[in-house]
Amino acid sequence: MSVYLLDDDDPRFPPARLASPDEDGILAIGGDYSVPRLLEAYAGGIFPWSTFRGRITWHSPDPRFVLLPENFKVPRSLQRVLKKRPFEITVDRAFERVIAACAAVPRPDGGTWINDRLRAGYVALHRAGFAHSAEAWAGGELVGGLYGVSVRGVFCGESMFSLATDASKCAFATLAPMLFAAGCPMVDCQTRSDHMERFGAAFMSRAEYLRRLSAAVRRGEETDWSKLST
């Protein structure tokens, strides 16, 4: 297996199938968070995960953790929470605040992979219409949310945060059905997490994920997020 060094002036990537055959799935190192490079990455099943000696590392895990529309479910305990309507859920109302809050979530090593460069790149991607957020509000305060990238209808979840119990889960439980109703063929959860597994996400081989993603890219149908209604 080789790790490819990206050309700073060329946004193209090696094929994702050449990434390491494991859940790390490292493919390349280098490049930047420019809009063309991020779009090229996500359309090819690749995403930035961390940095190494100041350089971005790019990954395509095998297997991939994916939520398909037919497998989506809301855990009963969360259904009971949703019935009480503890939060106002919105879409794309506070993208920059959501990504800032996600960056502030502490990690075991005390750092964050969502650095200033990455935040600036995703804010630019949001302004270009490809990165989106869902927010949970209580008493007019932002208490939870998530953000990700939408590429040809596929939603690639990136990060979430909660300042109130179940806030981000309620945001996702509200967003996901709207996406699927709008034709989203799958939510890319990237790597396994307990809470996404409870929503029905499961492992899928990288080859199958790339096949489905390629089919979505060929169809060329973008989700109109302005029409998503909570």
**What's the rounded Cα separation, in Å, for the pair 171 and 82?**
10
pLDDT for residue 113: 72
Position 108 scores a pLDDT of: 56
- Report residue 110's pLDDT band, with 50, 70 and 90 as the boundaries: very low
Residues 109-116, mean pLDDT to the nearest whole number: 68
Query: Looking at the domain that runs over 4-61, which CATH code has it been given?
Result: 3.30.70.3550
Whole-number mean pLDDT of the chain?
Answer: 94
> pLDDT tens digits for 171-206?
999 999 999 999 999 999 999 999 999 999 999 999
Q: Is the pLDDT of residue 1 over 70?
A: no
pLDDT top residue among 110 and 148: 148
Residue span(s) of the chain under CATH 3.30.70.3550 come to 4-61
**Percent of the chain whose predicted confidence (pLDDT) is above 90:** 86
pLDDT at 222 over 90: no
pLDDT of residue 13 exceeding 70: yes
Choice among 15-24, 91-100, 109-118, 200-209 with the minimum mean pLDDT: 109-118
Q: Region 21-36: what's the mean pLDDT?
A: 96
Give residue 107's pLDDT band: very low, low, confident or very high (50, 70, 90).
low
Residue ranges, CATH 3.40.630.70, the chain = 65-227
Strand order from edge to edge, sheet including 88-91: 88-91, 131-138, 141-151, 154-162, 187-190, 64-67, 202-204
SS3 of the chain: helix, strand, coil, percent, to 5: 35, 25, 40
CA-closest candidate to residue 34, choices 14, 13, 18? 13
In this prediction, residue 228 carries a pLDDT of 86
- Nearest-CA neighbor of 189 among 156, 153, 228? 156
How many degrees, rounded to 5, is the angle at CA 99 between CA 48 and CA 86?
130
For the cut 60, the answer to whether the pLDDT of residue 153 exceeds it is yes
The answer, yes or no, to whether residue 77 has pLDDT greater than 90, is yes
Q: Tokens standing for 28?
A: 């390349």
Percent share of the chain, pLDDT over 70: 96
94-114 average pLDDT score: 80
In the Cβ-directed half-sphere of 30, how many Cα atoms lie within 13 Å? Answer: 13
- Topology (CATH) of 65-227: Aminopeptidase (3.40.630)
H helix or E strand, kind and range, residue 189: strand 187-190
Give the tens place of pLDDT for each residue, 40-56: 999 999 999 988 888 99
pLDDT, position 50: 86
Flag whether pLDDT at 165 surpasses 60.
yes
